[in-house]
Amino acid sequence: MKSWTTPLLQLLCNSGGTDGKSRARPAEPLRDPQHPVSVIALGPSVLCWYKGLGRTPRTWGLPDIWDWTVFSWGCCLLMPGLLGSFPGPYEEEMKGIAAVTDIPLGEIISFNIFYEIFTICTSIITEDKQGHLLHGRNMDFGIFLGWNVNNNTWVVTEELKPLTVNLDFQRNNHTVFRASSFAGYVGILTGFRPGLFSLTLNERFGTNGGYVGIIEWILGKKDAMWIGFIVRSVLENGTSYEEAKNILTKTKILAPAYFILGGNKAGEGCVITRDRKQALDIYELNPKQDIWYVLQTNYDRWKSPFFLDDRRTPAKKCLNRITQENISFATIYDVLSTKPVLNKLTVFTTLMDVTKGQFETYLRDCPDPCIGW
C-alpha cells in the first residue's frame, strides 16, 4: 500500500517540521520540546505554502489515509471538476500542494473535504481570578476509519500524527495568526491571533449535517462557507473578539459546528452552537455567576452526551476540582490528559494564551488501557 504521508512529511522534514515522534507534555509546569513551527508567508503567490513547508522532490503515491475514507472512490476523476468553485486563495493553494507533492489534485481536494466531517474534539476556555483567559483543545480524529488490532490504534489517527504542523502565518515578516493543522489541509480548525482572540472548531452532529452541505455545494448551491475556510478567514482578517463572534454567528456554513472563541479580556469567551444557517445558542463566560470556564465536546450543552462518548462529565469534574484559583497551562493539560478526554483518537493537544502570545502543540499517545474514543 503506497502512502502520501511520505511526500507531505518530506515537506516538513526539509524545514525541520517534525521528526515523526510523539511527544507528551508532563502534567506540571515544565516545557518539553514542543512541536516545531513552520512559517507561511501570506500573499498572492501560491508558493507561500511551498516555501513555508519546504520543497520536496515529486513523489507519486496513493494515500494510506485515503483508503479508509468514504471519498476514495472516483475522487481523482470527480473532484478536479469542482475547481473554479472554491474561494480564493484556497483553490490555488490546493493546486500548489498537488503540484509539489505529485499527489493527484482530486485527492488533495477530497482530503480537505474529509476534514469537514470527521473532527471529534474537546475544547476549553478558562478565566482565572485575575480575568486572564486560557484556551486548550484536544484534536480527536479518525473514528471508524480503520482499527489496527496489532497495537490498538486507529489507522488514520496514527497516520495524521506525523502530518501535524504548527504554522505561523506572517505578512511582511510579522505574525498575523498561528495555527495547528495537518499538512495538505488549507483550512484551519485550531488557531489564535496574538493579542486579539483564539478559536477552535468542534464537529456538531446532525441529520442536516456536513454530508448534506457538501452534496448541495457539489450540486451548485454555494451560498455557504466551508467551516475550515471560515475559521482561517476569521483568524487572518478578524480585528476583534466581537467582530469574530459576529461573523461566526451569522455566516452560513456547510456543516453544523461548535465555534469555541476566546478574547483578550475578562468575560470574552463563548461556545457558539451552529446549524448550517444560524446560531442556536451562545454560551458565554460569566465569572460573576460562577461560569469561569466553557467546555465543549461534540454534543449540545442542553442535551446529555452519548453514553459511550461522555468526555464532558470527566472534564467538568477535573476543572471543578482544580478550581479557578489554580487554572494554568499545566492544569488544563491535566484535564485534556484525563481519560476518556484523552483517547485513542487524540492526535494532538494545543494550549493558547492570547494575551501572552503563547501557543503550544503536543502530539499525544493514550497508553492502554485507553478507550477507543
**In terms of domains, do 247 and 357 share one?**
yes
Rounded to 5, what percent of the chain is helix, strand, coil?
A: 30, 25, 45
283 domain residue, yes or no? yes
Q: Is residue 208 part of a domain?
A: yes
Strand ranges inside the chain, DSSP E: 37-41, 119-127, 133-141, 147-148, 153-154, 164-171, 174-182, 190-193, 197-203, 257-262, 269-274, 279-284, 293-296, 346-353, 358-363
Structural domain harbouring 53: 5-114
Question: What local confidence, expressed as pLDDT, does residue 24 receive?
Answer: 45
Spell out the alpha helix ranges (H) of 123-240: 155-160, 210-218, 227-237
Classify residue 62 as exposed, middle or buried by CB count within 10 Å of its CB (0-12, 13-18, 19+).
Answer: middle
Asked if residue 62 lies in contact with residue 7, where contact means CB atoms within 8 angstroms, the answer is no
Q: What pLDDT score does 59 carry?
A: 35
Q: How many residues does the chain have?
A: 373
Is 13 a catalytic site residue?
no
Domain stop point among 84, 114, 144: 114
The count of other CB atoms within 10 Å of the CB of residue 16 is 11
Cell output for 368: 492502554
Cα diameter, the chain: 58
pLDDT of residue 52: 57
| Residue 234 and residue 293 in one domain | yes
**pLDDT digit string (tens) for 143-176?**
777 888 899 999 889 988 888 989 999 999 999 9
Q: Which amino acid is at 264?
A: N
**Could you tell me if residue 372 is inside a domain?**
no
List the catalytic residue out of 48, 121, 318, 366: 121
Domains held by the chain: number: 2
Does 370 fall in a domain? no
pLDDT under 70: residue ranges of the chain:
1-35, 44-84, 115, 117-118
